[in-house]
Amino acid sequence: MPRIWINGKLYDKADAKVSVYDHGLLYGDGVFEGIRVYSGKVFRLTEHLERLYESARSIWLEIPLTREQMAQAVEDTVRANNKQDGYIRLVITRGAGGLGLDPRKTADPQVIIIVDDISMYPQELYDNGLEIVTASTIRNHPNAVNPRIKSLNYLNNILAKIEAIRAGCLEAIMLNANGEVAECTGDNIFVVKNGELRTPPPNAGILDGITRAAVMELATKDGIPVREMTLTRHDIYVADEVFLTGTAAEVIAVVKVDGRAVGSGKPGKMTRQLRERFQVLVRE
C-alpha cells in the first residue's frame, strides 16, 4: 500500500486526508507536478520543481518548503515506498479556509507527495500507435488561466478528454483561441515533416512539458532539425509522422487523426528512434 507524504509525515493511503474546507478541493486552488521515477531515480526533478514553484508564484501561493527541502521530501517518499519505477504526484493546495474565494482566508497550504504506479496507455498502443480526434473544447486562453500554470483545475482538459472518450479515442487535440494546434489533454504534440521535427511554441497556449524538452534535446543531439512553430490541423493531417510526449505517456506515436491516417498509418521511423533514445536517457 502506498505511503503518502503530507506536511512532513507519512500516512497509509487510507489515512491520507485533507480538510473538506481546503480550497484545493473547493475551488481547484493549487498547483501540482507529475514526475517519473526510473530505476529508483527521480527524472529531472530540478526542472519539475522549477515549474512547480513558478506555477505557485504565478497564483500568489507560498509553498512552505524551500526547493531543497521539497527535493529531499520527494526523494524520501520514493525511498519510503521502495519504488524503482513509478509516478510521483506532487500537490500543493491553498489550504483550509472559509467558504468564499478569498485566498487570504486560508491557512496552512498542504504539501502532498504521492508515489504510485501509472499506466497511461496499453502496450499495444505504444507498439501500433494511437488514434486521436480534435476536440471542440479549446485550450484556456492565456489571459484567463495561463496554460503554463499547472493548476489543480483541469476541467478544461477533462472536457476535451470526454470528447475523446465519446469518439472512441483516448486522447484529443486541443486548439487555442486562434484555432491553432496547442496540445492534447495531457500531452504535448509533435509532427515530423520532410525530416524536420515541429511542435507548437509556448505562446500557442501549451504547458511547457519536461518530456517535450527532453525529446527536443535528444533530436538536436541526433542532428534532427527542431522547430517551434505555429501548427494548424492541416499540418497534422499532412504530417509524415505525429507523436505525443508527456511525463506519464512518455513518447507515443499517433497513427490516425480525425479519421485520417498519418503517414503510412504506422509508427514512423523518427518516432521510434526518439522513443528508443528517450528510454535510454531515462535509464542512464
Cα-trace Rg, the chain: 19
Q: Which residue has the cell 514512423?
A: 268
- Tally of domains within the chain: 2
Same domain as 99, residue 13: yes
Same domain as 165, residue 27: no
Give the separation between CA 47 and CA 195, rounded to whole angstroms: 29
User: Which CATH number does the domain housing residue 172 bear?
Assistant: 3.20.10.10
What is the domain extent for residue 260?
123-283
Neighbours of 143 (CB within 10 A): 7
Same domain as 236, residue 277: yes
Give the separation between CA 227 and CA 209, rounded to whole angstroms: 15
Per-residue pLDDT of the chain (284 residues; tens, 9 = 90+): 899 999 999 999 999 999 999 999 999 999 999 999 999 999 999 999 999 999 999 999 999 999 999 999 999 999 999 999 999 999 999 999 999 999 999 999 999 999 999 888 999 999 999 999 999 999 999 899 998 999 999 999 999 999 999 999 999 999 999 999 999 999 999 999 999 999 999 999 999 999 999 999 999 999 999 999 999 999 999 999 999 999 999 999 999 999 999 999 999 999 999 999 999 999 88
C-alpha cell at 125: 498502443
Same domain as 275, residue 155: yes
Same domain as 7, residue 106: yes
User: Which CATH number does the domain housing residue 104 bear?
Assistant: 3.30.470.10
The amino acid at residue 239 is: A
In the residue annotation, 150 being an active-site residue is answered as yes
Same domain as 160, residue 272: yes
Question: Out of 41, 83, 150, 161, which one is annotated catalytic?
Answer: 150
Contacts for 22 with CB less than 8 Å, ≥ 6 apart: 93, 94, 95, 96, 97, 110
